[in-house]
Each structure stands twice: as C-alpha cells, then as structure tokens.
Amino acid sequence: MGVQACPITPVVDIVFSRWTTPILWTLHEFGRQRFVELQRRIETITPKVLTQRLRQLERDGLVVRTYHPSVPPRVEYEISELGLSLAPLFAQLALWADAHLDEVDRARHSYDAAGRPLSS
C-alpha cells in the first residue's frame, strides 16, 4: 500500500461505506442472524445490496458466513473477531453523536438561514 495523505482513509473506505455500518452494528447488537433477519432489521436495504455488502464484509474478514446443509439449507452471518475489534470505535462514534449532533444541526440551520450555497 502506498503512502496515504490521511492514514485513516482505508479504514473509512472499508467500515463506513454505505450499508456497512448498519450491518456491522446489527450483527454486533443482535448476534448471529439469518439473511432474512438482517433484512428485517435494516428495513430500507434491498436483498441485492445486502447480499453484495455481506460478501464484501466476508471478504474483508469482518463477517463470518456459516452454511448449514440442512433441508432447506440455512445460512447465518455473524460479526468476526476482527469486526468486533471495531466495537470501541462504534461506541466512541455513538458518544460523539449523542454529544454533538444537535450542534451540527444548529450549525446547518444557521448556515442555511444565512443563504450561503453548499458549493461555489
């Protein structure tokens, strides 16, 4: 890997891409789950996107997929040890959100009220 201007960019790309955080959070909070359980808990995700994200998370080593060759076959997903190592990061982000999202909302309202554009 080459030198990065920001050393956390690869982590942000892996962990905070669309749908990854809700999937990891759900697996951490509720434990091992079948596909349909995950889909129910993350209501707005489509089956296609959930499948794609789970495959990527499995590839990245953050999720473990277990196939049970029963009739009908059953597949379960759980967060891996590597994925669990992100728990302190998520906890810190949750604390930050509780402490600061109101400030962000006020700053946005103030900015928008001033009539300033988002881009030049």
CATH of the domain at 59: 1.10.10.10
At 95 the pLDDT is 93
Domain limits at 48? Answer: 9-84
pLDDT band at 3 (very low <50, low <70, confident <90, very high): low
Q: Give a yes or no: residue 78 inside a domain.
A: yes
Q: Does residue 41 lie in a domain region?
A: yes
Q: Is the residue at 104 inside a domain?
A: no
Q: What is the pLDDT of residue 10?
A: 85
* Residue 4 pLDDT grade (very low, low, confident, very high; cuts 50, 70, 90): low
pLDDT of residue 2: 60
Higher pLDDT, 50 or 18: 50
> Is residue 112 in a domain?
no
From CA 63, how far away is CA 55, in angstroms rounded? Answer: 9
How far apart are alpha carbons 6 and 81 in whole angstroms? 26
What's the Rg (C-alpha) of the chain? 18
Structure confidence at residue 1 (pLDDT): 53
Question: How does pLDDT run across 68-109, given as a tens digit for each residue?
Answer: 999 888 999 999 999 999 988 888 988 999 999 999 999 999
